[in-house]
Amino acid sequence: MDFEITKYNNFFKLSGVFNRRSLPLFQSEFEHVFDKLDKLTISLENLENIDRYGVMAIAKLNNEAITKQKSLSIIGFGCKEVFEHFTNSDAA
């Protein structure tokens, strides 16, 4: 399944395969998101697979939220790789 981002207000749902090839779509969608929104929720429930580029893109978005003092919520049990990244004590 191709990577797809659907949105409704400040809720974004990621579906399909999030990998290096789909990274430009993610980056263009979220490039200035915190200039427009104070709170953002991303659902990973419909992700079939994610590679390290996708995990790092979500981590970068999380770091941006922290830096700009915005709220980012990541929900869903779609991909264990994201969960492992954020629960790993070595994660930066």
CATH of the domain at 73: 3.30.750.24
Whether residue 92 lies inside any domain: the answer is no
Whether residue 59 lies inside any domain: the answer is yes
| 3-state SS assignment for residue 46 | strand
How many domains does one find in the chain?
1
86: confidence class by pLDDT, cuts 50, 70, 90:
low
The pLDDT of residue 89: 44
pLDDT tens for each residue of 14-24: 999 999 999 99
pLDDT tens for each residue of 35-73: 999 999 999 999 988 888 999 999 999 999 999 999 999
- The better pLDDT of the pair 46, 84 is held by 46
The structure's pTM equals 0.82
pLDDT above 80: residue 9: yes
Task: Provide CB contacts within 8 A for 34, sequence distance 6+.
Answer: 40, 64, 65, 68, 70
Cα gap 59→72, rounded to integer Å: 11
Cα gap 12→30, rounded to integer Å: 10
